Chain A
Amino acid sequence: MSGPHEDARKLVTWSLSTFHASAFVLAIVLLLYSRGGLGPALGGLNTLFGLGLFVALWVTTYVTTSRALEGIDLLDPAVDRVRFLRRALRWGAANALAFLAVLGILFVAGAILTAPAGLMSLVFIGPFAVVIGAAVGAVVGTFFGLVDLALCALARAALVSET
């Protein structure tokens, strides 16, 4: 049976993971649109496939965020920030690799059904994608870790300040 602390921890995990996935995607949409690249990007994407990719990112982000928060209470003013940021870096990279794995599975399935010869390109592109994906994921994870810590400080200030 879960108590108030466990309920609060689950809510923090759910909110932070959804925040990370949504803010990441919305920031990319804003950046692409401001540079005029959103129309062509969306024009080449099947709508259901796009929705599925968002759900996949949401799921991998939830799993990796909950692992990153294991044993860490962000609501505690004495939270070990360095430990949390190390976790954010590591699990950010893991999230990117998990999402990349989903893309890889879809690519392989698509290639088997349509053009099996295309599978050879995966052998060449795969290692680069893994290295670049992990690096980008680590940077994005650390960035969100820093944002999370700042927002936690804001929440604590909101709780104790005079209204």
Chain B
Amino acid sequence: MQLDPHVLHLAIRWIHVAAMATAFGGAVMVLALSINTTPREGDAGLLDAATRYEWVFWAAAGVLAMTGIGNLATFGQGLPVPGTDWAAAFMAKLTAVIALVVFSIPRTLAVAGIRAGVAAPRQRERIRSLYGATAAAFAVILGLAVWLAHG
């Protein structure tokens, strides 16, 4: 049985969008939790949410990289060549994605460190800064992705 390439590419695109929504939405959720919960409620719940998010974030990052290349494969030989506006936006997006992946490692390690008991004063403020930066990076990447798809 031959799989319809249009169905396959549509499925890949849906998975890509779902992974992006999960990673971006999760970062915003942890950021909102760090803003909305009061110190009296304790940092344990916030740290739990951040730790769970890190597991999900890396799963989503792998899926995004995999399906992102799958999306490019849809273009095949018709992929816009370097030197065009689309190419400039694509390279900016790819560079931003690589930067986000690289600088997410210190965030994950910081959360894992706090989880393992490394003393970190002002945990709530640190978590707020880390997830604020992650959500902002995702917003930039999302803007570029929307431009690439519809611009």
Interface residues of A (CB under 8 A from B): 4-5, 7-9, 11-12, 14-16, 18-19, 21-23, 25-27, 29-30, 33-36, 38-40, 42-43, 45, 47-48, 50-51, 54-55, 58, 74-75, 147-148, 151-152, 154-156, 158-160, 163
Contact in complex: A45, B73 (CB < 8 Å) = yes
Cα distance A58–B62 in the bound complex, in angstroms:
8
Q: Decide yes or no: A8 and B105 within 8 Å by CB, A39-B76, A47-B8, A54-B69 being known contacts.
A: no
Q: Decide yes or no: A151 and B115 within 8 Å by CB, A11-B55, A54-B65 being known contacts.
A: no
21 A-B pairs with C-beta separation under 8 A: A4-B115, A5-B116, A8-B112, A15-B108, A22-B65, A22-B101, A25-B69, A27-B98, A29-B94, A33-B87, A35-B82, A38-B72, A39-B78, A42-B75, A47-B5, A50-B69, A51-B12, A74-B109, A155-B107, A159-B118, A163-B125
Q: Which of B105-124 contact A (CB under 8 A)?
A: 105-118, 120, 122
Q: Which residues of chain B are within 8 angstroms of A8 by Cβ–Cβ distance?
A: 112-113, 115-116
Contact in complex: A33, B77 (CB < 8 Å) = no
Cα distance A55–B75 in the bound complex, in angstroms:
21
Q: Which residues of chain B are within 8 angstroms of A154 by Cβ–Cβ distance?
A: 106
Cα distance A163–B54 in the bound complex, in angstroms:
22
Contact in complex: B58, A18 (CB < 8 Å) = yes
Q: Which of B32-79 contact A (CB under 8 A)?
A: 51, 54-55, 58-59, 61-62, 64-67, 69-70, 72-79
Q: Which residues of chain B are within 8 angstroms of A50 by Cβ–Cβ distance?
A: 69-70, 73
Task: Kindly list the 4 A-B residue pairs having the minimum CB-CB distance in the complex, ordered from nearest.
Answer: A155-B109, A39-B79, A8-B116, A155-B106
**Total interface residues in chain B, CB < 8 Å:** 58
Contact in complex: A4, B117 (CB < 8 Å) = yes
Per DSSP, are chain A's interface residues mostly helix, strand or loop, or mixed? helix
Q: Which residues of chain B are within 8 angstroms of A74 by Cβ–Cβ distance?
A: 109
Contact in complex: A47, B105 (CB < 8 Å) = no
Contact in complex: A15, B69 (CB < 8 Å) = no
